Each structure stands twice: as structure tokens, then as C-alpha cells.
């Protein structure tokens, strides 16, 4: 079974759609969890109802970074990230060509995120955060995961655009 066979293409599309749904659920969960440390910070800062927790700031920062990275992955999948529509009405083939240019530019950024993100994570393997004492690689690995995920979703989109340019259905 070749990679371009309908069965393989269907498998990859279903796998990427499942990964996308997982990321959307994870993004919603991260946003919901992010409310907890931020609320604790606010309540402890302006009232004496609970003690001042120092770890909440660090936890909020970690969750915020992950939320941004997962949000960027979802944005790339939806084609809503790094894409501006400024051209008048064009033919489907012309639109596909413009999207390909945009996607190849984003592809370069994804490779940089993956490559440099791996180095960034390697530097944090034996380090821990100061307050919560969490391993720092847990936050640093968000960069290469984002880069790899962008590459996966971009590959699907680039494949579709090439099919449009070839006169086939995407």
C-alpha cells in the first residue's frame, strides 16, 4: 500500500482529525485549569482569605505557554494562523498557489521550532523550576511538539493544494 493510495490517505486524514480533536479538548482543559492558579493569585493578593501562594504564578506561566502552543497548532490546522486574505477573488488554482507560498513560509518556521525546540528541551533536561520544582523540560518540549504538529498539518494542507493545482479534488 503506497502512501498516496486512498486507503493510506484516508488513514492519515482520520489520524490527523483525531489528533486535532484531542488538541481541541486539551486546549479547553488547559484553559479551564489555568483559571485555578490565576484565581488563587488574585484572591490571595487582594484578600486575607487564603495565604499567598508563590507556586501559582509559575504554574500559570507554564499553563499559559502550553495553551499558546496548543492554540497555535489548532490555528495552523484550521488555516487561521499566519494567514491573511488580502487578494481579490481568484480562481481556485490561484488561491492554491498563494496558500502554498504561505504554507511553505510557515513550513520554514515549523522546522526552526522543531530543530531549535529540541535543543531548547535538551538544555532543560536536568533543570527544575525554582518554585514548583517541576522539571523544566516539561515546558520546553512544547516548542518541538508545536513544530512537529505544524509540519503534520501543513503536509496535509500542502498535499491538498497540490491536488488543486493538478486539477484534482482536494
User: Along the 170 residues of the chain, how does pLDDT read in single tens digits?
Assistant: 555 666 777 899 999 999 999 999 999 999 999 999 898 888 888 887 777 777 788 888 899 999 999 999 999 999 886 566 677 788 888 888 988 998 999 999 999 999 999 999 999 999 998 877 889 999 999 999 999 999 999 999 999 999 999 988 75
Q: What are phi and psi of 57, to 5 degrees?
A: -65, -45
For 33-51, letters b (16+ CB in 10 Å) and e give: ebeebeebbeebeeeeeee
Residue 63 lies in a domain: yes
Residue 98 lies in a domain: yes
Residue 1 lies in a domain: no
Integer CA distances (angstroms), 170 to 33, 121, 137, in order = 38, 37, 39
pTM of the model: 0.85
The total domain count for the chain is 1
Residue 154 lies in a domain: yes
Residue 116 lies in a domain: yes
Domain of residue 141: give its range. Answer: 6-165
| Alpha helices by DSSP H, 53-91 | 55-78
Integer CA distances (angstroms), 140 to 63, 124, 129, in order = 12, 7, 12
For residues 23 and 146, give the distance between their C-alpha atoms in angstroms, rounded to a whole number.
11
Contacts 24+ apart (CB under 8 A), 76-85: 76/106, 76/149, 76/150, 76/153, 76/154, 77/16, 77/20, 77/23, 77/153, 79/157, 82/106, 82/109
Residue 58 lies in a domain: yes
SS3 89: coil
Residue 31 lies in a domain: yes
Residue 82 lies in a domain: yes
The pLDDT tens digits of the residues spanning 121-148 come to: 999 999 998 877 889 999 999 999 999 9
All three cell numbers of 99, joined, read 496558500
- What pLDDT shows up at residue 2? 55
Amino acid at each position: 500500500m503506497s502512501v498516496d493510495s486512498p486507503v493510506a490517505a484516508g488513514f492519515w486524514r482520520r489520524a490527523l482529525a483525531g489528533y486535532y480533536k484531542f488538541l481541541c479538548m486539551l486546549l479547553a482543559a488547559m484553559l479551564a485549569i489555568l483559571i485555578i492558579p490565576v484565581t488563587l493569585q488574585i484572591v490571595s493578593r487582594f484578600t486575607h482569605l487564603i495565604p499567598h501562594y508563590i507556586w501559582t504564578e509559575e504554574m500559570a506561566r507554564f499553563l499559559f505557554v502550553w495553551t499558546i502552543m496548543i492554540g497555535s497548532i489548532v490555528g495552523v490546522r484550521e488555516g487561521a494562523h499566519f494567514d491573511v486574505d488580502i487578494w481579490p477573488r481568484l480562481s481556485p488554482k490561484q488561491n492554491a498557489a498563494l496558500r502554498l507560498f504561505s504554507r511553505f513560509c510557515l513550513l520554514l518556521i515549523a522546522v526552526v521550532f522543531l530543530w531549535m525546540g529540541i535543543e531548547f528541551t535538551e538544555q532543560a533536561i536536568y533543570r527544575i523550576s525554582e518554585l514548583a520544582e517541576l522539571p523544566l523540560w516539561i515546558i520546553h518540549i512544547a516548542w518541538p511538539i508545536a513544530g512537529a504538529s505544524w509540519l503534520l498539518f501543513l503536509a496535509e494542507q500542502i498535499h491538498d493544494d497540490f491536488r488543486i493545482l493538478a486539477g484534482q479534488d482536494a
